[in-house]
C-alpha cells in the first residue's frame, strides 16, 4: 500500500522546517501554516522566528522539567499553534494553557459585573423590604376603615346594623378621624 503523495510532501516540508512529521493532512497543513506565519512575523535579520514556548508537565523539580522538555523535543511531540494572534510552541497540554491569562481576565471581568449586579439587586431588595414594612403597618388601619365603611353602609342604607357594627364604626372612626399619627404619616410617604 503506497502512501498518499500529498501527505508525504507535507511530512517532508515539516521535517525540513524542523516540525513534527506525525499527524493528518489537516494537522500538518495547519502546523506548516502556523510556522510560516510565525516566520513571516519575525524580524528578517533573525534566523528563527520568535514564538512563545509552553510545556506542561507534572515535573517536581526544574531538572525533571528539563528532562521532559528534552524528551518532547526528541519525540517530536511539540506543536506550533496560533493563539490570539501569537505563535506558541509546546505540547498539547501546554498549548491548552496558552490563552489562560486572557481567559482569567474574562472571568474576572464577568465576576466584577456580577458583583455590581448583586449590589444593585440587594439595594432593590432593601427598598422592597421597606415598602413591605410600610404596607404591613398600614394593613390593620386599612381593615378598620374598610369594615367601618361596610358597617356604616349597613346602618345608613340598609337600616339593619347590629351592636357589632356600631362597635366597628366606633373603632373605625377613631382610626379615620382621631387617627394614628404613624398610620396617617404612611399615607403621605408611600
pLDDT tens by residue, 113-171: 999 999 999 999 999 998 888 877 778 888 888 898 899 899 999 999 999 999 998 88
Tens of pLDDT along 23-35?
888 888 888 887 7
Residue 167 confidence (pLDDT): 92
Segment 17-25 long-range contacts (CB within 8 Å, at least 24 positions apart)? 19/80, 20/76, 20/77, 20/78, 20/79, 21/76, 22/76
Grid cell in block for residue 6: 500529498
pLDDT digits (tens, 9 = 90+) for 73-94: 666 666 666 666 666 667 666 6
**For position 51, what pLDDT does the model report?**
53
Distances (CA, A) of 18 to 31, 74, 88, 93: 11, 11, 15, 20
Provide the residue ranges of all domains of the chain, joining segments of one domain with +: 5-97, 102-189
Residue 101's CB is within 10 A of a number of other CB atoms, namely 10
More confident residue, 122 or 99: 122
Q: Is the pLDDT of residue 49 over 50?
A: no
Half-sphere exposure (CA, 13 Å, Cβ side) for 23? 22
Amino acid at each position: 500500500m503506497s502512501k498518499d503523495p500529498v501527505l508525504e510532501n507535507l511530512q517532508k516540508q515539516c521535517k525540513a522546517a524542523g516540525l513534527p512529521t506525525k499527524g493528518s493532512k489537516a494537522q500538518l497543513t495547519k502546523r506548516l501554516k502556523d510556522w510560516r506565519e510565525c516566520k513571516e512575523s519575525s524580524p528578517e535579520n533573525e534566523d528563527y522566528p520568535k514564538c512563545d514556548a509552553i510545556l506542561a508537565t507534572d515535573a517536581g523539580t526544574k531538572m525533571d522539567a528539563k528532562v521532559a522538555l528534552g524528551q518532547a523535543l526528541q519525540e517530536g511531540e511539540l506543536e506550533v499553534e496560533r493563539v490570539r494572534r501569537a505563535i506558541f510552541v509546546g505540547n498539547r497540554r501546554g498549548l491548552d494553557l496558552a490563552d489562560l491569562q486572557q481567559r482569567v481576565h474574562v472571568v474576572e471581568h464577568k465576576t466584577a459585573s456580577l458583583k455590581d449586579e448583586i449590589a444593585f439587586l440587594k439595594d432593590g431588595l432593601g427598598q422592597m423590604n421597606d415598602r413591605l414594612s410600610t404596607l404591613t403597618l398600614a394593613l390593620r388601619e386599612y381593615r378598620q376603615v374598610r369594615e367601618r365603611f361596610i358597617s356604616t353602609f349597613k346602618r345608613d342604607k340598609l337600616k339593619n346594623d347590629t351592636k357589632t357594627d356600631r362597635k366597628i364604626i366606633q373603632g373605625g372612626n377613631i382610626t379615620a378621624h382621631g387617627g394614628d399619627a404613624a398610620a396617617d404619616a404612611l399615607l403621605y410617604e408611600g
